[in-house]
Amino acid sequence: MEVKALACELPSESGLPFSRFSCADIAHQAVTRGIAASISGATVWRWLQADAIKPWNYRSWIFPRDPEFAQKAGRVLDLYQGFWVGQLLGENDYVISADEKTGLQARKRIAPTQAPGPGRAGRVEFEYERHGVVAYMAAWDVRRAKIFGLCEQTTGIESYHRLVDLVMRQEPYVSARRVFWVTDNGSSHNGETSRQRLPQWYPHAVQVHLPVHASWLNQIEIYFSVLSRKVLTPDDFSDVERVKQKLLDFQAYYETIAKPFKWKFTRSDLNNLLARLAQHQTCPAKAAG
């Protein structure tokens, strides 16, 4: 048990000059601290394996810091379930999830990309020439599985305005009762000013912000992950115009096969997750184990 407790410590807490333990490190520390007269790394590994303790593994994480995290995230999850402030959305209400991908580079490989063959993966030259950068703004209709997007030189309020215009100037949104715009807190649509600005553009549009560091609750990110895998990886584009064309062509193709995402994470799931995170924050040793 003492060896397992040692494995659940951070090396820095003991003044050790490394960031994570190996089995050999733990065995050495166990002998140094007098926990055991002698012990091998293999024995340590066997003991840790019994409780699935892997101190050499790390996972990046951002703990919620917004004091209104549950409230802000909850109302977005309610929208995905078809509710707003406890009332069922009508047929003439729409939910849009929007964001942008910035810094998409046109990288031209110095040797041609090769297709895969029997027993051989495709090959992409490591070296490349840079031919400019483009930003991609996109909006996803959560209930209708429609995707809207445009390419800009950079992001910002004006770029976001053009994306909103692209959606709101066509049916059924121009005649809708309400159109909810779910966004993160990026500079293009940040804060109370943005929340007030959107209905000035379109009186029936409602800006709904996610909490800080909650982009994983923004459905457009699912589309972006598909886009990254299918279009942007590997990246081999002769110029910026080629990047733009690929993005817009894929957008048109995706809409022909798209269906609403089967979103299953609810407000109840969120509350359970936040409760577990709060326990981890107050019990670091248990969290490490």
In a domain, 6, yes or no: yes
* Same-domain status, 92 and 187: yes
* Same-domain status, 102 and 46: no
Both tokens of residue 186?
Answer: 């990026």
* Same-domain status, 40 and 76: no
pLDDT for the residue 287? 37
* Same-domain status, 161 and 18: no
The answer on pLDDT for 273 being more than 50 is yes
Per residue in 163-185, pLDDT (tens digit) is: 999 999 999 999 999 999 999 98
* Same-domain status, 34 and 161: no
pLDDT for the residue 65? 80
* Same-domain status, 45 and 85: no
* Same-domain status, 79 and 102: yes
In a domain, 285, yes or no: no
* Same-domain status, 103 and 34: no
Per residue in 202-239, pLDDT (tens digit) is: 999 999 999 988 889 999 999 999 999 999 888 889 89
In a domain, 259, yes or no: yes
In a domain, 229, yes or no: yes
* Same-domain status, 105 and 244: yes
* Same-domain status, 144 and 204: yes
The answer on pLDDT for 279 being more than 80 is no
In a domain, 23, yes or no: yes
pLDDT for the residue 282? 55
In a domain, 136, yes or no: yes
Name the domain count of the chain.
2
pLDDT for the residue 281? 62
Interval 92-109 mean pLDDT = 93
Of 37, 58, 79, which residue constitutes the final position of a domain?
A: 58
- pLDDT tier for residue 284 given thresholds of 50, 70 and 90: very low
In a domain, 222, yes or no: yes
- pLDDT tier for residue 190 given thresholds of 50, 70 and 90: confident
Per residue in 28-75, pLDDT (tens digit) is: 999 999 999 999 999 999 999 999 999 999 888 777 788 889 999 999
Per residue in 121-165, pLDDT (tens digit) is: 989 888 888 989 999 999 999 999 999 999 999 889 999 999 999
Residue-number span of the structural domain to which 16 is assigned: 2-58
What CATH number corresponds to the domain at position 160?
Answer: 3.30.420.10
* Same-domain status, 174 and 195: yes
* Same-domain status, 28 and 167: no
Is the model's pTM score more than 0.85? no
- Give the phi and the psi of residue 37 in degrees, each rounded to 5: -70, -40
In a domain, 119, yes or no: no
